[in-house]
Amino acid sequence: MTISPALVFGVVLVLYILSSIQILSEYERGVIFRLGKLLPEPKGPGVILVFRPIDRIVRLSLRTLVHDVPPQDVITRDNVSVKVSAVVYFRVIDPRKAIVEVENYLYATSQLSQTTLRSVLGQAELDDLLAQRDRLNQQLQHILDNETEPWGIKVSAVEVKNVDLPQEMQRAMARQAEAERERRAKIIHAEGELQASEKLSQAAAVIEREPATMTLRYLQTLTEIASEQNSTILFPVPLELMRFLRGGDNK
């Protein structure tokens, strides 16, 4: 039984076409080089034809990628050595640039994130690193976005995750926080004493204008003491009598 050359050619052609079919997901794009030249537009999503060896396709994902920046040794502006780790969120917005303009956009973005993290945080003081993290995150995101834009990469967010302080610095900060709390407690106590003295001064002025007020206050104090059954009450000489005797001595 002889096989027709046309049949063989047809079978080979069908197999070649089937092997040339590529299916790209909704989040994927294909950058195609035809005879070494880059085609104007990326292909996908859906079914596309890649005629090898004439064509070569490189698949890229358009989803947001999450890259963990490993802990970096950073010396802050006030000469404190810390370890800082971060996370970078970025995505490919121009597949052609991501393939042509840089050899490996994932590795390049990772290395740029590490160097930028050390550079930016090295210009900040420790207090800013701990208290103004949002501002530093925005600064890091702005720098990385500008640097990766020629690669077709969009950096959407940068978040500083952990800041590891030396044990000596942690103890020093604990002592500083304790001293700060003591300072606030003393200020609050002093303000309370000041307010109390002002109220006592006002009360003394009222009592001086109305002598009978002292007697009423005296009786109120006796009432409060009498509520304690185990108390012994000593009745002093009435104030009117003391005032009368003092007036007699003046005469």
Do residues 57 and 19 make contact, with C-beta atoms less than 8 angstroms apart?
no
| Residue 44 burial by Cβ neighbours in a 10 Å radius (0-12, 13-18, 19+) | buried
- Asked if pLDDT for residue 49 goes beyond 70, the answer is yes
* Whole-number pLDDT of residue 251: 47
Is the per-residue pLDDT at 162 higher than 80? yes
Q: What is the reported pLDDT for 80?
A: 85
Task: Name the token pair of 3.
Answer: 């096989």
Mean pLDDT score, 189-214: 81
Q: What is the pTM of this model?
A: 0.66
What is residue 98's predicted lDDT score, i.e. its pLDDT?
A: 94
- The mean pLDDT value of the chain amounts to 84
Query: Is there a contact between 117 and 74 (Cβ–Cβ < 8 Å)?
Result: yes
Whose CA is closest to 176, among 126, 217, 251? 126
Write out pLDDT tens, residues 66-114: 999 999 998 888 888 899 999 999 999 999 999 999 999 999 999 999 9
The residue length of the chain stands at 251
What does the DSSP assignment read for 86-103?
A: EEEEEEES-HHHHHHT-S
Mean pLDDT of 199-222: 75
Fold of 65-170: Tetrahydropterin Synthase; Chain A (3.30.479)
Whole-angstrom Cα Rg for the chain: 42
CA distance 133 to 20: 51
Which of 47, 173, 150, 65 shows the shortest CA–CA distance to 99?
150
Which run of H or E residues covers position 153? Answer: strand 153-164
pLDDT tens per residue, range 120-149: 999 988 888 888 889 999 999 999 999 999
Q: pLDDT, tens digit, for every residue of 236-250? A: 656 665 666 566 555
* 32 vs 1 pLDDT, higher one: 32
